[in-house]
Amino acid sequence: MTKNCTCGFEGSPKHNDFYDCVEYYEEKNGKTKGQWMIDWAKKSKKSEAKRKPSGFSAWIDNAEKKVK
């Protein structure tokens, strides 16, 4: 996914990628470069753990519980 640069970076090397803008913003604000990706992964794992099975997989789980 490439979008136009919006961070106002006017140095070298030039970048046109949204993710480069985010990393530039992080460095500018004293955060570790790439921290946003680490935070995103942690949030993703938390939401994945909270999900309940639905549809066919939920039906199979219920059927297996009844058989035991």
CB atoms within 10 A of CB 23: 21
State both tokens at 51.
Answer: 């999900």
CB atoms within 10 A of CB 36: 15
pTM of the model: 0.49
55 Rama sector, left if φ>0, alpha if ψ -120 to 50, beta otherwise = left
Domain boundaries, the chain: 18-67
Residues 16-68: tens digit of each pLDDT: 777 888 888 888 888 888 888 899 999 988 877 777 777 888 888 888 877 76
- Taking the CA atoms of residue 36, residue 38, residue 44 and residue 50 in that order, the dihedral angle to the nearest 10 degrees is -120
